[in-house]
A and B are shown apart, each in its own frame.
Chain A
Amino acid sequence: MPEVKNRQAVTGAQAVANAMRQINPDVVAAYPITPQTPVVEYFAQYVADGLADTEMIPVESEHSAMSAVVGAAAAGARAMTATAANGLALMHEIVYIAASSRLPIVMPVANRALSGPINIHCDHSDAMAERDSGWIQLWAENAQEAYDFTIMAIRLAEHEDIRLPVMVNFDGFIISHGVEVVDFLDDEVVKKFVGEPKVKYPLLDVDNPVTHGPLDLYDYYFEHKRQQIEAMKHVYKVFNKVAEEFAKISGRKYNILDAYKVEDAEYVMIALGSTAGTIKYTVDLLREEGHKVGVIKPQIFRPFPKTELQGLLNGRKAVIVLDRSASFGAEAPLYEAVKSSLYELAVKPQLGSYVYGLGGRDIKIEHIRKAFEDAFAGNLIADEERYLGLRE
């Protein structure tokens, strides 16, 4: 992509790579995995063409990508990498270390099914496997959000009340390879928005040497974990502030929950990522037929927006949760979280759990309609996991 104009039809991967070019991080570690590959490819081309002057580390594995980024961030650099699926799984050990070292790393993840069997298409099993790692998880619905969130994530991660890494999730292929019209901000605007990195205890401040990553036994580890827990509690406050500022430069205002036609809805569907777009479309169709339906898309999955959900779901007739990953031997992750949020409500809605789209299986309007119709018929069972688009 040569010169970047403000409005362009691009893939999500291009949009994310362009956000990275505009952020111009100090260090980026790159390793390919479908469907994330084009992100690091586009970015590497920007660097090769002199459009970003980031130091690249073309590592030999994702484990080393995350390790190098941890080293770079600890050293005092603004550091990024990107991955998906097995790459994220290979990073797993260091994903936890990045969070517990309070390093503000930003990492786009083009969500993809985890092996085995090997499958390169979209589902959310990769990110869900990291949900308790201490990373903030943002979830984009489309290329525009993937672009916007990548930029906003820098501010969120580096905020002094937070200092936690952020994963920007965007559905593999559907967003990463689908072409959409994206409104880009001007380079200067992004540069000003992200500002200079704020670094705490940089390793390279050799006159004030610090020890990073010590052995932390039972006499302090617990307290340090508590600090991480507390840092997560600041995320919504900061997110709202960052979103407000971002609205000023972009005209696009993000909320913790993206609620579509929910105000008077009796039936509310909840889903992460690109499927929310298909649900919105289906909601429009059902509304035309006179059904009071709406959809909520959490923009943040970690920390989980419990209070915000409670506020929106109290008194609804039914809540249908769509999960693009399974939890073997337990309820699907988004459903489980929503269900437990509703425990404290005065008027609990009926609940339904639907798993869909594993390994890239298509989710269609008729699938979404079917789940809504189950709800209309009062045919939801909280303890029953159902499947959309599965051959049985």
Chain B
Amino acid sequence: MALNIMQLAVKFADKNPGITQGHRLCPGCAAPNVAKFALMTAEALGYTPVVGFATGCMEVSTTIYPYTAWNIPYIHNAFENAAATVSGVETAYRALLKRGRLVDPNKKYAFFAFGGDGGTYDIGLQSLSGAVERGHKFIYIVYDNEGYMNTGNQRSGATPPGSQTTTQPVGKKLPGKIQLKKNLVEIMASHENVYVATVSTSEPMDFFKKIEKALEFDGPSFIAAMSPCVRFWRVNDDKAVEISKLAVETGYWPLYEVERGVYKITKKVKELKPVREFLEKQGRFRNLLKRPDADEIINELQEYITRRWERLLALEEATKDKPIR
């Protein structure tokens, strides 16, 4: 079923597609839009979404008892187990359907698990890998704000080098985090029997299409969404989309998908902008930029980005029509 713009227009007009107004995330935070885009697509395509969330900014801000910003079934269990929890929910769905105990067996269920980068790249990786390997039909979406924001901007496996965090701050002696970001997308793609994609709210049509593909994929999907934290990235409240766009244009956040091993770049940037532009637009790199070794670190990042982009192009060419499973 192809998603059409009219369906989305109707859904856009509905301000409460799953996650409603009245949550307490920071103004301008990208995370709720990541959830909205996904749920909107599911609902527009006739699915009934059921959502599991990992502990993090988005979870604590949307379910402060006795209030909830969710008008669809929602479950939070703990920090590192959103995937395992939803794998239980999805299994229960199959069991109840089989046994004729599902309240509404005619509905088309869609199971989503959401986690921040900490709950996904780090502490939750085992649970995610296990659930994807077992082949549960669910869509895991990481809203990647490149740090542990709920606990106050600590480093995660997704934090880029030189970004100001509180557990690896940029100081007189050390340039903050020196490691590159963990390439989780590739780790997930290596599960092979999976649909994996990167998305950004700055490219909504691409985002919607990938969610649609994930919904229709016969097996687990993993979606990585660029999700700027306006608070700790030190950008203005209205800048999340703009900075995401720059992330895509610099190749910092390439938009692509891997379907059972077949690579496809969904946004071919003709000429990548230098990553420095992306870094300079944010306060979290301010301390890095003041350091004498800033060029060294930025060059290293730039080199990695360029190489990864070239590699993606090559993978796209090499894997064309060659699904691994």
CB distance from B119 to the nearest CB of A (A): 12
Q: A61-72 toward B: CB 8 Å interface, digit per residue (1/0)?
A: 101100111111
* B residues in contact with A61, CB < 8 Å: 126-127, 130
Chain B contacts for A217, CB-based, 8 A:
64-65
B257 at the interface (CB under 8 A from A): no
Q: Which range holds the interface residue count of chain B?
A: 35 or more
B70: Cβ under 8 A from any A Cβ = yes
- In the complex, chain B residues whose CB is within 8 Å of the CB of A212: 74-76
Min CB–CB distance A202 → chain B (angstroms): 7
CB <8 Å contact, B88 and A67 = yes
Say if the beta carbon of A55 comes within 8 Å of chain B. yes
A204 and B89 form a contact (CB under 8 A): yes
- CB of A60 closer than 8 Å to a CB of B: yes
- In whole angstroms, how far apart are the Cα atoms of A71 and B90 in the complex? 8
Determine if B88 and A209 form an interchain contact, defined as CB atoms under 8 angstroms apart.
no
| B59 A29 Cβ-Cβ under 8 A | no
Q: Determine the chain B residues whose CB is within 8 A of the CB of A27 once the complex forms.
A: 88, 91-92, 95
Q: Could you tell me the distance between the alpha carbons of A69 and B87 in the complex, rounded to whole angstroms?
A: 9
Contact indicator per residue, chain A 207-234, by CB within 8 Å of chain B (1) or not (0): 1011111111100100000000000000
Q: How far is the CA of A202 from the CA of B134 in the complex (A)?
A: 24
Interface of chain B, helix or strand or loop or mixed? mixed
Which B residues lie within 8 Å of A77 (CB)? 91-92, 95-96
In the complex the two chains form, is A207's CB within 8 Å of B126's CB?
no
Q: Which of B81, B101, B109 contacts A64 (CB 8 A)?
A: B81
Are B95 and A71 in touch, CB under 8 angstroms? no
* Interface status of A392 (Cβ within 8 A of chain B): no
Task: Decide if A206 touches B50 in the complex (CB within 8 Å).
Answer: yes
B104 contacts A206, C-beta separation under 8 Å: yes
Please give the residue numbers on chain A whose beta carbons come within 8 Å of chain B beta carbons, in ascending order: 26-27, 29, 53-55, 57-61, 63-64, 67-77, 79, 93-94, 97, 196, 202-207, 209-217, 220
13 contacts between A and B (CB under 8 A): A64-B81, A64-B84, A67-B77, A71-B92, A74-B88, A75-B89, A77-B91, A94-B77, A97-B78, A204-B96, A205-B104, A212-B76, A216-B65
Q: What 8 A-B pairs are tightest by C-beta distance, nearest first?
A: A71-B88, A60-B130, A68-B88, A75-B92, A77-B92, A64-B84, A67-B81, A67-B84
Question: Residues on B close to A: CB < 8 A?
Answer: 48, 50, 52, 59-60, 63-66, 68, 70-78, 80-81, 84-89, 91-96, 98-99, 101-104, 107, 109, 126-127, 129-131, 133-134
Apart from the given pairs A67-B81, A209-B74, A214-B65, 17 other A-B contacts in the complex at a CB distance below 8 Å = A29-B88, A61-B130, A63-B81, A64-B126, A70-B85, A72-B91, A73-B92, A74-B75, A74-B89, A204-B89, A204-B96, A205-B73, A206-B50, A209-B71, A209-B72, A213-B76, A214-B68
